[in-house]
Amino acid sequence: MKINHIQKGFEVREGKQRNDGSQQASTVRQDSIEISTAAQQLYSQGTKEREAKIEALKKLIEAQEYKPNPNDVAKKIARHYNM
What is the share, in percent, of the chain residues with pLDDT greater than 90?
40
- Per-residue pLDDT tens, the chain, 83 aa: give them: 555 555 555 555 555 656 665 666 667 778 888 889 998 888 888 888 899 999 999 999 999 999 999 999 999 999 999 87
Question: Which residues is 35 bridged to in the sheet?
Answer: none
Cα–Cα distance between 1 and 38 in angstroms, integer?
17
H helices of 1-83, in order, are 37-62, 70-80
